[in-house]
Amino acid sequence: MTTFWTRISRLVGLADPEEIETLERSLRLDFRKRCSLFRQLVGSNNLALEVMSEIEELLRGATPFGVPQIRGMCALTTANVFKMIRCLNGMTNGRYNALFGRLRAIQEEMGRHVEGGREPLAGPLVLPLGQIGAADSGEVGPKMANLGELGRIGLAVPRGFVITASAFRRFFEHAGLTAEIEGLIRERQVDRLDERYALSSTIQEMIVAAPLPDDLLQDIEGHCQALARDHGDEVRLAIRSSALGEDLPDASFAGQYRTELGVRLEQVARSYKEVVASKYGVAAMTYRWNRGIPDEGMAVCVGCLLMVDAAAGGVVYTLDPVNPVDHRLVIHAAPGLPTAVVDGNIQADRYLVSRDDPPRIVQSHVPRKDSMAQLDAQEGIAHIQLQGRDALAQAIDTPVILDLCRKALAVERHFGQPQDVEWVLDRQGALVFLQARPMTSHASIVLENEDTPGLPLLLSDGEPASPGAACGKVFVVRKNADAFSFPEGAVLVTAQALPRWAPLLSKAVAVVAETGSAAGHLANVAREFDVPAVFGLENAVSLLEGSEMVTVDGTHGRVYSGCAESLLADQAEKRPGFMLGSPVMNTLASVARHIVPLTLLDPESPDFTPEYCRTLHDITRFCHEKSVGELFAADSGPVRNRLAKQLRYRGRPLKYWLIDLGNGFRNPPQDRFIDFENIASRPLHVLWEGMTAKDWSGPPMLDVRGFAAIISQAATNRDIEPAMASSFEVKNYFMITDTFLSLQSRFGFHFCTLEALLGDVAEENYVSFRFKGGAADLDRRILRAELVADILEEYGFRTELRQDALLARAEGLPRPELEEKLRILGFVMIHTKQLDMVMKNRRMAVAYEQRLRRDLEIMIGSHQGTVG
């Protein structure tokens, strides 16, 4: 029989048998090379589209991420686009080398957004607190700049000095820390808490071990000596962070950095490094991660302040942070230093005070306080147990309360917005101010509604620390190791409202603690993240441990058994896009403009050229379209035209084209069609059984919004115009062998790839399916992808979802088991087409889903019965 390759040779005018054999061998090698490059190109295309889907998901603002993750996504997308260009040029002998230039230009645009510039090192290394004001915020940080302002308006503040942002940069550059830390962060999975703990420990040890530059060390020692001359060698200092970006209205960083109290003068340099290292503590790293704040530019300035020998201390809010519409001041006070109040170690006194002139105390609550922290000449800080009347005594008396309110209102007037002010009362009865920052409350809940649900009340009379209500399973946290197993959506229950539990607030739906107050650092962060919290509930751990679902009412300070639907109904959607508007989100949005949009739409347009590729998505579209043309297009030459055969099924041509990579056809076709009976590929036969087990009933009946979504999509995509003969409308291409198939399918707005290997070696067998797109809006497409994923998971597929992009895979199974999965995949692939258009119509979606599952079970049962 005259071979197919002989016929091809005659077509191009060759008759010599040796020449025919040489050409035949060359054509086979060339074609296999092209098919191999095409498969590589499609693989890179899939990976690039996955990253684009991840970017689209992050742009919704509900998932935390950092600049290193953005850089990683840019690098991964660029690398895969580069591979696609290289494969396409390998298939076309360099015809599209101009794409490399377009890729470089797009890379440069992305680099401008993700690289940024280094902060200058010039500037003073140390500044006295008395010389600092609001204008110095960029050098000393908002916390110390605000403290300097308090001194300027006549309020008493401690004496001391600030080690500046320039000093921080000088230290990091001198020790080579910047590049090393950036490298470590890029290498680790900082979205995993266990990895974050390990990374935190490594970086902090590195910083503490690094030497300070001589000039910085000399400046620190010089200012310490000046304090010693005026106040004696035995003075103790508080070493406090004042990072750039800290104490801002929407990002307090409350309790996320380290504070060292009772520090001797000779220990200041070491304590400085400890505080700087706390920038990479788990709490601070998690806070930045969850709030979308980049690591770059967050220089840690450090205030070194003389400690006050405090008789009492605490926090005053110029508006109630839980109910700001109440317009009253709230004071939290405790004996000794205020650290016990802000760290959540004790129950503090609480006073509500009117904003009248003169102010008056409206309400007071004085609980038992079992301990106090105070300055100690030997130990620096000592914790004293309180007994009897001392434990029940009021921390400050009425004149101090009223004086504190007047001065706090003066601070509010000076800064022009409600303030969170930390203070101490010294042994001589003078108020000294330690900090003032804008209030971070986002609450606007009025406490008038006292309706209670018809559920058992487990705990009551707690202090509302963050308003709102949430329901979840109880999870008690006692030690750091408990954090690793903390589940998403649980209620965090703990003995003390410590700042170290802040990293769990991205998972917790609510917080309950036996101690603490609304003035604590954990309460501040809970309010920022809109996590309901109730503190000061005695015996909460023992009473709630072992409970299943509970409802935490952070507005009224109660905990109920079960889910109180009446309380939850009025809650806003949980965790709205809290990343929206953050610096990291803005960076991603800027980068995404050069990656995600698809502007190169019509393959028939004269503008469908490398020069008009404006985004990485454009390049992927161009490469895929041109690579398909190289293998399948009718005008791609007489040889390649005869290699792609159109499928003929039961005498009717279908819109499927096949290429035989080896042993895929039983006999060489005599024309441009391949009859289904002539196909020897076992995977294709199995897939076809699933695809044809039941006739597709056509697109679902549209609801109004589904139709509107299609109109919106089509209005921006010229490939859907019915009058346009676009190659985008329907394309289904198979490359096959007797044991392998690779399907590339594009029709309408959908794009999918499917690969399967069904051989005799179970360990090598696999089925892989990727799908993205749809005609409806994104939410509907996501719901359809989730439905398909759920079904495939029920039948043993491993699935991954990124927005509307789905990856499903099964592997390493005997051939009969994988054949069943491939059959299921063929059925689902056909019968979920255009199902996205009704996914927002709950009734219609449920009806289609039930029918799909029922028909799928019938198909499986029918085949198993036939096999049996």
Mean pLDDT throughout 508-531?
A: 86
Residue labelled with tokens 């020998």: 309
pLDDT value at 48 more than 50:
yes
Q: What is the mean pLDDT of the chain?
A: 80
- b/e 729-764 (16+ beta carbons within 10 angstroms → b): eebbbbbbbbbbbbbbbbbbbbbbbbbbbbbeeeee
Q: How far is CA 710 from CA 64, 74, 702, 782, in A?
A: 31, 30, 10, 15
**Residue-level pLDDT at 765:** 85
Least confident interval from 63-67, 162-166, 317-321, 468-472: 63-67
Q: Measured between alpha carbons, how far is 183 from 176 in angstroms, rounded to an integer?
A: 12
Q: Report which secondary-structure segment, H or E, holds 527.
A: helix 521-528
117 pLDDT band, cuts 50/70/90, is: very low
Q: Report which secondary-structure segment, H or E, holds 744.
A: strand 740-747
**Residue-level pLDDT at 116:** 56
Least confident interval from 246-250, 305-309, 654-658, 740-744: 246-250
DSSP class of residue 336? B
Number of domains in the chain: 5
Name the E strands within 614-651.
645-649
Does residue 161 lie within any of the structural domains?
A: yes
Same domain, 668 and 797: yes
**Residue-level pLDDT at 866:** 58
Q: Give the rounded percent of residues in the chain with a pLDDT score beyond 70.
A: 80
User: CA nearest 261: which of 140, 379, 386, 427?
Assistant: 379
Same domain, 276 and 207: yes
DSSP class of residue 191? T
Question: 113-122 — which CB contacts under 8 Å span 24+ positions?
Answer: 113/587, 113/590, 113/591, 114/67, 114/70, 114/71, 114/74, 114/587, 114/591, 116/296, 116/297, 119/165, 119/169, 119/297, 119/299, 120/166, 120/169, 121/166, 121/169, 121/170, 121/173, 122/166
Q: Measured between alpha carbons, how far is 468 from 457 in angstroms, rounded to an integer?
A: 17
Least confident interval from 38-52, 426-440, 765-779: 765-779
Task: Classify strands 361-365 and 463-466 as parallel, antiparallel or unpaired.
Answer: unpaired
pLDDT value at 738 more than 80:
yes
698 pLDDT band, cuts 50/70/90, is: low
pLDDT value at 65 more than 50:
yes
Mean pLDDT throughout 122-147?
A: 88
Determine phi and psi for 32, rounding to 5 degrees: -60, -40
Mean pLDDT throughout 411-426?
A: 91
* String of DSSP letters for 97-161: THHHHHHHHHHHHHHHHHT--PPP--S-SEEEGGG--GGGHHHHHHHHHHHHHHHHTT-----EE
Same domain, 535 and 601: no
Handedness of CA 636, 639, 641, 647 (dihedral sign): negative
Same domain, 415 and 480: no
Same domain, 154 and 67: no
Does residue 95 lie within any of the structural domains?
A: yes
Does residue 826 lie within any of the structural domains?
A: yes
Q: Measured between alpha carbons, how far is 364 from 200 in angstroms, rounded to an integer?
A: 42
Domain boundary among the residues 257, 285, 307 is at: 307
Q: Measured between alpha carbons, how far is 267 from 233 in angstroms, rounded to an integer?
A: 12
Question: Which two tokens mark 36?
Answer: 């191999």
Question: Which two tokens mark 263?
Answer: 């520090």
Does residue 700 lie within any of the structural domains?
A: yes
Q: Give the rounded percent of residues in the chain with a pLDDT score beyond 90.
A: 31
**Residue-level pLDDT at 699:** 54
CATH code of the domain covering residue 258: 3.30.1490.20
Between 190 and 142, the higher pLDDT residue: 142
CB of 773 closer than 8 Å to CB of 781: yes
User: CA nearest 508: which of 552, 452, 478?
Assistant: 552
Q: At what angle do helices 137-152 and 165-175 cross, to 10 degrees?
A: 150
Mean pLDDT throughout 114-121?
A: 56
CATH code of the domain covering residue 400: 3.30.470.20
Same domain, 503 and 515: yes
pTM of the model: 0.57
CB of 404 closer than 8 Å to CB of 331: yes
Same domain, 100 and 152: no
DSSP class of residue 423? E
Q: Measured between alpha carbons, how far is 407 from 422 in angstroms, rounded to an integer?
A: 12
Q: At what angle do helices 137-152 and 398-415 cross, to 10 degrees?
A: 130
707 pLDDT band, cuts 50/70/90, is: very low
CB of 371 closer than 8 Å to CB of 340: yes
Helix (H, G, I), strand (E, B) or coil at 334: strand
Q: Tens of pLDDT along 345-385?
A: 778 899 999 988 888 999 999 988 888 888 876 767 788 88
Same domain, 96 and 182: no
Sheet holding 533-535, edge to edge: 457-459, 558-561, 549-553, 469-476, 491-494, 510-513, 533-535, 463-466
- b/e 454-486 (16+ beta carbons within 10 angstroms → b): ebeebbeebbbbbbbbbbbebbbbeeeeebeeb
Name the E strands within 378-453.
380-385, 419-426, 431-438
Q: Measured between alpha carbons, how far is 87 from 40 in angstroms, rounded to an integer?
A: 7
**Length of the chain in terms of residues written:** 868
Does residue 201 lie within any of the structural domains?
A: yes
Does residue 612 lie within any of the structural domains?
A: yes
**Residue-level pLDDT at 497:** 86
Domain boundary among the residues 279, 307, 335 is at: 307
Determine phi and psi for 548, rounding to 5 degrees: -85, -110
CB of 631 closer than 8 Å to CB of 640: yes
pLDDT value at 141 more than 90:
no
**Residue-level pLDDT at 248:** 46
Mean pLDDT throughout 282-290?
A: 75
Mean pLDDT throughout 18-46?
A: 68
Question: Which two tokens mark 456?
Answer: 């058992």
Q: Measured between alpha carbons, how far is 250 from 530 in angstroms, rounded to an integer?
A: 12
Same domain, 147 and 294: yes
Mean pLDDT throughout 110-133?
A: 77
**Residue-level pLDDT at 25:** 52
Does residue 543 lie within any of the structural domains?
A: yes
248 contact partners, CB below 8 Å, separation of at least 6? 142, 437, 438
pLDDT value at 288 more than 50:
yes
**Residue-level pLDDT at 254:** 53
Domain boundary among the residues 286, 307, 328 is at: 307
* String of DSSP letters for 799-840: EEEETTEEEEEEES--HHHHHHHHHHHHHHHHHTTTGGGGTT
pLDDT value at 846 more than 80:
no
Question: Which two tokens mark 776?
Answer: 């409806």
Between 64 and 470, the higher pLDDT residue: 470
* String of DSSP letters for 403-417: HHHHHHHHHHHHHTS
Same domain, 420 and 471: no
**Residue-level pLDDT at 685:** 93
Q: Report which secondary-structure segment, H or E, holds 205.
A: helix 193-209
Q: Measured between alpha carbons, how far is 620 from 256 in angstroms, rounded to an integer?
A: 43
**Residue-level pLDDT at 125:** 94
User: CA nearest 805: which of 835, 779, 829, 782?
Assistant: 782
Identity of the residue numbered 288: R
pLDDT value at 405 more than 90:
yes
Same domain, 350 and 399: yes
In DSSP terms, 242 is beta-bridged to 301
Angle value at C-alpha 484, between 483 and 486, nearest 5 degrees = 60
Q: Tens of pLDDT along 193-235?
A: 777 788 888 999 999 999 999 999 999 999 999 999 988 888 8
Q: Measured between alpha carbons, how far is 5 from 173 in angstroms, rounded to an integer?
A: 67
Does residue 17 lie within any of the structural domains?
A: no
Q: Measured between alpha carbons, how far is 367 from 247 in angstroms, rounded to an integer?
A: 29
Alpha helices (runs of H) in 699-771, residue ranges in sequence order: 704-715
CB of 61 closer than 8 Å to CB of 579: yes
Residue labelled with tokens 């071990």: 209
For the chain, the 3-state helix, strand and coil shares in percent, each to the nearest 5, are 45, 20, 35
Same domain, 231 and 312: no
* String of DSSP letters for 655-684: EEEEEEEES-BSS--SSSEEEGGGB--HHH
636 pLDDT band, cuts 50/70/90, is: very low
Question: 750-757 — which CB contacts under 8 Å span 24+ positions?
Answer: 750/774, 750/775, 750/833, 751/49, 752/829, 753/42, 753/46, 754/687, 754/825, 754/829, 756/683, 756/686, 756/687, 756/818, 756/822, 757/683
User: CA nearest 420: which of 447, 438, 395, 405?
Assistant: 438
Handedness of CA 217, 220, 222, 225 (dihedral sign): negative
**Residue-level pLDDT at 632:** 59
Q: Measured between alpha carbons, how far is 379 from 361 in angstroms, rounded to an integer?
A: 37
Q: Tens of pLDDT along 670-684?
A: 888 999 999 999 999
Helix (H, G, I), strand (E, B) or coil at 9: helix
Q: Measured between alpha carbons, how far is 340 from 23 in angstroms, rounded to an integer?
A: 86
Mean pLDDT throughout 733-739?
A: 86
In DSSP terms, 742 is beta-bridged to 735, 755
Range of the domain at 664: 652-867
Q: Tens of pLDDT along 536-587?
A: 898 999 999 988 899 999 888 999 999 888 788 655 444 445 566 667 788 8
